[in-house]
């Protein structure tokens, strides 16, 4: 129970952190790597990237747990 709670908490914290770091790295310079995502609606872009990061992290954690149960 404690391990599952720690995994959920870490995914919830890591999602926005990864989203912010991706926007920070991808929206710098004269020609941003993310192009139009760096435009006027930066909060919408952050929300979209955060949701994508949560999805990827949740899939990775569930795959890890599935592999761990098969051992």
pLDDT in tens, 9-64: 888 899 999 988 888 888 777 777 777 777 777 888 888 889 999 999 999 999 98
Q: What is the pLDDT, as a whole number, of residue 51?
A: 92
User: If 0-12 CB within 10 Å is exposed, 13-18 middle and 19+ buried, where does residue 71 land?
Assistant: exposed
Range of the domain at 54: 2-70
Using H for helix, E for strand and C for coil, what is the string for 18-63? HHHHHHHHHCCCCCCCCHHHHCCCHHHHHHHHHHHHHHHHHHHHHH
The total number of structural domains in the chain stands at 1
């Amino acid at each position: 129970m404690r391990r599952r709670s720690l995994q959920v908490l870490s995914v919830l914290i890591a999602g926005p952190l990864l989203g912010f770091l991706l926007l920070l790295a991808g929206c710098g310079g004269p020609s941003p790597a993310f192009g139009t995502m760096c435009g006027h609606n930066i909060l919408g872009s952050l929300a979209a990237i955060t949701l994508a990061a949560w999805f990827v992290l949740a899939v990775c954690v569930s795959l890890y747990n599935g592999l761990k149960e098969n051992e």
